[in-house]
A and B are shown apart, each in its own frame.
Chain A
Amino acid sequence: MHSVARPLASTASLVALLAAIPLIFVGYNSSQLTLAKWVALWQNRIPELLANTLSLSVLVAIGCLILGISSAWLVARRDFKGRRVVSWLLILPLAIPTYVFAHIYTIMTADDGWLGQIWLVFFDSSLDIFNIWGTALVLTLAGFSYVFLLVRIALMDANRSLEEAARIQGASSLAVFWHVSLPLIRPAIAAAMAVVVLHTLSDFGAVSMLRFQTFTLSIYLQMSGRLDYEAAAGLSLILVALSLTFMILERFFRRRARYFSTAQSRHHTARKASKGELVIIWSWLGLICLFAFLLPLLWMLQWTWQAITNGAIDARFWGYTFNSLTVGALAATLAMVIALPVGLFHTRIKSRLSSACLYFSSVGFVLPGPVVALGIISFAVFALPALYGGLTLLVLALVIRFLPLAVQSQEAAMQQLTPSIEQAGRVLGAGPLENLKRVILPMIRGGMASAWVLVFIDSIKELPATLLLRPVGFDTLPVRIWIEASEEMLELAAPAALIIVIATIPAIWLMARTGVNNNGNQDEAASRGF
């Protein structure tokens, strides 16, 4: 066993070091800020950014809780026709990147848009979503599915006999939910909140399309509007600290509230919905599905059709698609491979070093796209100028940003590897490498496959780092959506968005399936969300 320990430890440490590059360089850059500049930042920018970022996070969290818990409860506790279809429709919004969501909503709510026209029938002034409410709405529609997914699983797992006991004692439906169900699903809610808030903190797409100044947007603007990398680094550091604080708080609160259900309480059929309940279910869930998925989908289909009939889908367009797939495949493969030693090290030899490696390789969780890009650019300028140009920097940024996904799915798969299996291999005469090849890899291939798929999907959707780091003339689908959207060329943005959505659906399927199979493992399901 110990013959593999040392090489494993050093490779895992190397990977952790690689993942830490952006953070190190952002830290270095911000250390170049003079005290006077820090003071100026604190006085002029930070209070507003902090207020904006935090209030947006709170609004999105509340919105996601309302939509997510209500829909999860209806789907988990009532049986009705079309329940399966609705469950899918409630997850599918995750396939739409936030910049696409925001772009579609700005067009639909304009005075001549589908929603804007309806609005003007009832109100005098135009529908304005370029503010915190609009931004929160878009991010809520784009993110409530995380709450839905996790809370639904928790509700299905929760011991129903407790609820039934409360009902027999004469408690009303609402009282049962409030005093029995809610405490049981609290850990799931906390996990989902963590996902939603971290997404909001790192979101670039919606806030940039809707011009709502948060830390992430401001960092990007510092880098692209003025050449002020030091101020950008200073803001990045605060954002990272904010995300970390939040993650630690969430872990702390969740640890204190764990409920265990007894294993035999699995098989329950949801109660058939009554006529009155059906009306509520159909109107409420229908409304959510309509705004979170069906309308945007319809919009994309309409403009894609327009693009096809106008002949706008040409070789150039397929070139962008090909570029996206190339970047995604490269990042996914690399992340999958380098996540292996980290996961293996931690499962095999649990030590302080292995945990440290695990944590550091997960640093991408708290690094929004512009921050990763900033760190990578500074790294290349100072340390490795030869890397400049070409795909290297972009792929490196994507790998670091999404490495946590790869590490976590593989680590989860490795949990089932008991040392005895490997020892059996050794006894039968297999060396460490052969053991890896013939015993370990075949057993964790499911985890590796899902690592690949998850990194691939997130890489082809990624916008800000790709904008800043793509090689010359190398446009991907998100980059084109960004450019076309800023030029108001709708019929070109729509097909690109549609392709991204279609390509993302397999990952959603995987996520939903794993969520259902690994009942109760909320940590894992939550991390899948990234």
Chain B
Amino acid sequence: MFGLKRLFILILAIILPFSGQLVFAGEQLVVYSGRSDRFVLPVVEAFTEKTGIKVILHNAESTALLNKLTLEGKRTEADLFLSNDAGNLQVGADKGLFLALPDELAANIPAQYRAPDNAWIGLSSRMRVLVVNTESGNVDSINSVFDLADPALKGRLAITSSANGSYVAGTTVYLLAAGEEKTKQWLEGMKANVDGKVFNKHSAVVKAVAKGKADVGLVNHYYIYRHLAEHPNSPIKIVLPDQGDDGMGVAENVAGVAISQYSKKIDAAKKFVAFLVSEEGQKIFAEINREYPVRPGVATAAEVPIAGSFKVSDVAMYKLGAERNRTLDLIESIGMP
């Protein structure tokens, strides 16, 4: 009979070794990772080599993973949650999904980069900066992100779609630092300037500015250096916005980590966090993406502006959580593309 039996045996042969793998796993940690695998893998490999603990990365958008954690509750297989957005981390903390980290781990990281109750800690920080075309005569007067709403920049502004997580987080910082009215006007001005044409990715924003298709773009700082590494003669430069005494400073956002409330391997999970905040871990984690390590005293990549040499917004990172929905509502009500 048409090999039905054979087919079943084949299927069984396919599943059995696989399910065995699931059941007989040795000591291994499951990390829900909202951060690109290529930025996480090097540090994970270094950790496994050092401790023998395996790490399974489950990659998806940060918010999708947070939803998964919420839904799974105590049934979750996740031991840790890694996100590139402090807002997401704090929302998870507010939902009681995370275990407070012990002081000796948290103390490695300055207080503004972690949850008030240490439910999550930051690992690396990225700056929301302007990239300008050095050959454009149009950009000398731009020194604040709010200048991007200037009608003079009509058709000359490059931003990503408002679905981007860094975009949302940056907007939350401006909302907190400058107020809702000003932020709303700013978004509306930018909407008029881009006239429906936004970019899919930050790298495309940088590329557009480099090619002279736009005069100025709003990006995370490392995208500029990633582009310059490939095209050293590209006519672009970084502008750190909102400096000076009355400036609100550059908006930043941190990537961070939290341990699941329902992890059954808390000791191993703590070891992983300890490695991430150690000097060795910080160096790998931050440097590979040219981010700023949050542990004091760990060097940044040579090409980026030296930490402490410029003014950074004083909005505490955990506040990005509670205000996130307000930002989303604002963006939606304006109909930002």
Q: Which residues of A contact B (CB under 8 A)?
A: 44, 106, 110-112, 125-126, 128, 130, 211, 221, 223-227, 325-326, 329-330, 333, 377, 381, 385, 388-390, 437-438, 441-442, 445, 448-449, 467-468, 471-473, 475, 483, 487-489
B41: nearest residue on chain A (CB-CB)?
A: A316
The 8 Å CB contact of A473, one of B38, B56, B211, is B56
A224: nearest residue on chain B (CB-CB)?
A: B64
- A489 close to B58 (CB less than 8 A): no
- Closest Cβ of chain A to B204, distance in Å, is 7
Interchain CA distance A227-B325 in the complex, whole Å: 11
Q: From DSSP, what is the main secondary structure of chain B's interface residues?
A: helix
30 A–B pairs (Cβ distance < 8 Å), ordered by A: A106-B200, A112-B207, A126-B213, A211-B200, A221-B163, A224-B60, A224-B67, A225-B63, A227-B66, A227-B67, A227-B70, A329-B10, A330-B15, A377-B71, A389-B72, A445-B2, A448-B2, A467-B64, A471-B22, A472-B56, A472-B58, A472-B78, A473-B56, A473-B57, A483-B37, A487-B36, A487-B38, A488-B201, A488-B203, A489-B38
Besides the contacts A112-B207, A437-B1, what 6 more A-B pairs have beta carbons closer than 8 Å?
A44-B332, A326-B15, A329-B10, A330-B14, A333-B8, A389-B77
Interchain CA distance A382-B126 in the complex, whole Å: 40
Tell me how many residue pairs across A and B have CB atoms closer than 8 Å: 88
- A224 close to B61 (CB less than 8 A): yes
Chain A residues with Cβ under 8 A from B203's Cβ?
488
B61: nearest residue on chain A (CB-CB)?
A: A224
Does B30 touch A at the CB level, under 8 Å? yes
- B75 close to A389 (CB less than 8 A): yes
Interchain CA distance A487-B56 in the complex, whole Å: 19
- B163 close to A388 (CB less than 8 A): no
Q: Which of B75-100 contact A (CB under 8 A)?
A: 75, 77-78
Interchain CA distance A390-B7 in the complex, whole Å: 22
Chain A residues with Cβ under 8 A from B61's Cβ?
224-225
Does B59 touch A at the CB level, under 8 Å? yes
Chain A residues with Cβ under 8 A from B302's Cβ?
none
Known A467-B60, A487-B36, A487-B38: A326·B77 in contact at CB below 8 Å: no
- Count chain B residues whose beta carbon lies closer than 8 angstroms to a beta carbon of A: 45
Chain B residues with Cβ under 8 A from A225's Cβ?
61, 63-64, 163
Query: Residue-by-residue, is B44-74 near A (CB-CB < 8 Å gives 1, otherwise 0)?
Result: 0000000000001111110110110011100
Known A211-B161, A224-B67: A441·B4 in contact at CB below 8 Å: yes
Interchain CA distance A473-B37 in the complex, whole Å: 12
- B2 close to A441 (CB less than 8 A): yes
Nearest first, the 9 closest Cβ-Cβ pairs linking A and B are A224-B64, A473-B56, A445-B2, A227-B67, A472-B77, A472-B58, A487-B36, A473-B58, A472-B30
Does B264 touch A at the CB level, under 8 Å? no
- A329 close to B11 (CB less than 8 A): yes
- Closest Cβ of chain A to B146, distance in Å, is 26
The 8 Å CB contact of B14, one of A126, A326, A377, is A326
Chain A residues with Cβ under 8 A from B24's Cβ?
none
Chain B residues with Cβ under 8 A from A487's Cβ?
36-38
Known A330-B15, A389-B77, A488-B201: A381·B71 in contact at CB below 8 Å: yes
- Closest Cβ of chain A to B6, distance in Å, is 12
Chain B residues with Cβ under 8 A from A448's Cβ?
2
Interchain CA distance A330-B37 in the complex, whole Å: 28
Chain B residues with Cβ under 8 A from A381's Cβ?
71
- Closest Cβ of chain B to A130, distance in Å, is 7
The 8 Å CB contact of A388, one of B7, B66, B75, B201, is B75
The 8 Å CB contact of A224, one of B10, B63, B78, B197, is B63
- Closest Cβ of chain A to B58, distance in Å, is 5
Does B328 touch A at the CB level, under 8 Å? yes
Interchain CA distance A445-B78 in the complex, whole Å: 44
Interface hub of A225, A389, A441, A488 (most chain B Cβ within 10 A): A225
- B63 close to A333 (CB less than 8 A): no
Interchain CA distance A227-B58 in the complex, whole Å: 19
- A110 close to B204 (CB less than 8 A): yes
Chain B residues with Cβ under 8 A from A325's Cβ?
14
Chain A residues with Cβ under 8 A from B59's Cβ?
475, 483
Query: Residue-by-residue, is B165-209 near A (CB-CB < 8 Å gives 1, otherwise 0)?
Result: 000000000000000000000000000000001001101100100
Interchain CA distance A74-B123 in the complex, whole Å: 62
A111: nearest residue on chain B (CB-CB)?
A: B211
Chain B residues with Cβ under 8 A from A329's Cβ?
10-11, 14
- Closest Cβ of chain B to A285, distance in Å, is 32
Interchain CA distance A318-B89 in the complex, whole Å: 33
Chain B residues with Cβ under 8 A from A488's Cβ?
201, 203
A386: nearest residue on chain B (CB-CB)?
A: B75
Known A329-B14, A483-B59, A489-B38: A111·B207 in contact at CB below 8 Å: yes
Interchain CA distance A204-B305 in the complex, whole Å: 41
Interface hub of A333, A467, A471, A473 (most chain B Cβ within 10 A): A473
Chain A residues with Cβ under 8 A from B60's Cβ?
224, 467
Interchain CA distance A223-B71 in the complex, whole Å: 11
- Closest Cβ of chain A to B80, distance in Å, is 12
Chain B residues with Cβ under 8 A from A125's Cβ?
213
Interchain CA distance A106-B200 in the complex, whole Å: 10
- B197 close to A128 (CB less than 8 A): yes
Interchain CA distance A299-B93 in the complex, whole Å: 44
Chain A residues with Cβ under 8 A from B2's Cβ?
441-442, 445, 448-449
- A130 close to B30 (CB less than 8 A): no
- B37 close to A223 (CB less than 8 A): no
Chain A residues with Cβ under 8 A from B332's Cβ?
44
Query: Residue-by-residue, is B21-43 near A (CB-CB < 8 Å gives 1, otherwise 0)?
Result: 01000000010100011100000
Chain B residues with Cβ under 8 A from A437's Cβ?
1
- Closest Cβ of chain B to A381, distance in Å, is 6
- B14 close to A226 (CB less than 8 A): no
Interchain CA distance A130-B37 in the complex, whole Å: 26
Chain A residues with Cβ under 8 A from B67's Cβ?
223-224, 227
Interchain CA distance A110-B199 in the complex, whole Å: 11
Chain B residues with Cβ under 8 A from A226's Cβ?
63, 325, 328
Chain B residues with Cβ under 8 A from A467's Cβ?
60, 64
